[in-house]
């Protein structure tokens, strides 16, 4: 049996919902899973490496790429652009890699629209929403990170209230528990998706 091209795993969750940790666990446990490096117009933070953390672009260059329709998805977030180059994803999928995109509900909606027009994206797409057990639990997690002030946390919680009702647009929903539980559930989803008959082929039997 031979497997076809890789999976495109769209993983969404509210800010602080644990999607970055989950993505890192998945990649550490499965060498075939890779993260598509996003482009951004924001300045690099301490320790970030161009081409590894993000591809850092000027606003002018980013907008030129938008005009050339190079992005699979992009969004303007707090004054900075973030986006995923379609060719980067397609090249990784063609090599058989499973590609994880950790994007918000806005980005996921753009990917869905592209998938409706492009068979290779539609064939590969698997959408997962990581749902906090409650707003109260999400607030505790945000405060535990100790990276945001009260006003920022309040804004993130407001965004979460707008994002969480979108869970039923996804193929799967994981109600977040411990990092280990979340990883086990996502790994099970990937294993099931890899075993779909539409993603496998056999030599002809004569």
Query: 80-84: long-range contacts (C-beta < 8 A, 24 or more apart)?
Result: 80/40, 80/41, 80/42, 81/39, 81/40, 81/41, 81/57, 82/38, 82/39, 82/40, 82/42, 83/38, 83/39, 83/40, 84/36, 84/38, 84/39
Residue 88: both structure tokens together: 């980067």
Which one, of 65, 64, 42, 66, lies nearest residue 53 by Cα? 42
Residue 186's pLDDT is: 97
How far apart CA 123 and CA 201 sit, in angstroms, is 14
Q: What is the pTM of this model?
A: 0.86
Residue 128's pLDDT is: 98
Residue 1's pLDDT is: 38
How far apart CA 130 and CA 147 sit, in angstroms, is 21
Residue 50's pLDDT is: 87
Residue 4's pLDDT is: 66
How far apart CA 113 and CA 205 sit, in angstroms, is 38
- 174: enclosing H helix or E strand: strand 172-175
Specify the length of the chain in residues: 206
- DSSP annotation of 37 reads P
The count of C-alpha atoms lying within 13 angstroms of the C-alpha of 15, restricted to the half-sphere facing its C-beta, is 17
Residue 89: both structure tokens together: 């994803």
Residue 11's pLDDT is: 96
Residue 52's pLDDT is: 83
Tell me which CATH homologous superfamily contains domain 2-36+96-201.
P-loop containing nucleotide triphosphate hydrolases (3.40.50.300)
Residue 69's pLDDT is: 92
In the predicted model, residues of the chain with pLDDT beneath 50 are 1-2
pLDDT in tens, 68-79: 999 999 988 778
Sequence-distant (6+) residues with CB within 8 A of 150 are: none
User: Can you give the residue ranges of every domain in the chain?
Assistant: 2-36+96-201
Residue 3's pLDDT is: 53
């Amino acid at each position: 049996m031979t497997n076809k091209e890789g999976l495109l795993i769209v993983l969404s969750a509210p800010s602080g919902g644990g999607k970055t940790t989950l993505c890192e666990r998945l990649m550490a446990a499965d060498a075939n899973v890779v993260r598509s490096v996003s482009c951004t117009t924001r300045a690099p933070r301490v320790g970030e490496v161009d081409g590894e953390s993000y591809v850092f672009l000027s606003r002018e260059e980013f907008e030129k790429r938008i005009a050339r329709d190079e992005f699979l998805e992009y969004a303007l977030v707090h004054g900075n652009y973030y986006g995923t180059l379609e060719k980067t994803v397609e090249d990784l999928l063609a090599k058989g890699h499973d590609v994880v995109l950790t994007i918000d509900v806005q980005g996921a909606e753009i990917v869905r629209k592209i998938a409706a027009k492009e068979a290779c994206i539609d064939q590969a797409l698997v959408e997962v929403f990581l749902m906090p057990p409650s707003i109260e639990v999400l607030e505790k997690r945000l405060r535990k990170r100790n990276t945001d002030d009260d006003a920022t946390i309040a804004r993130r919680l407001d965004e979460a209230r707008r994002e969480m009702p979108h869970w039923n647009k996804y193929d799967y929903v994981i109600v977040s528990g411990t990092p280990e539980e979340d990883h086990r559930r996502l790994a099970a989803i990937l294993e099931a998706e890899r075993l779909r008959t539409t993603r496998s082929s056999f030599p002809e039997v004569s």
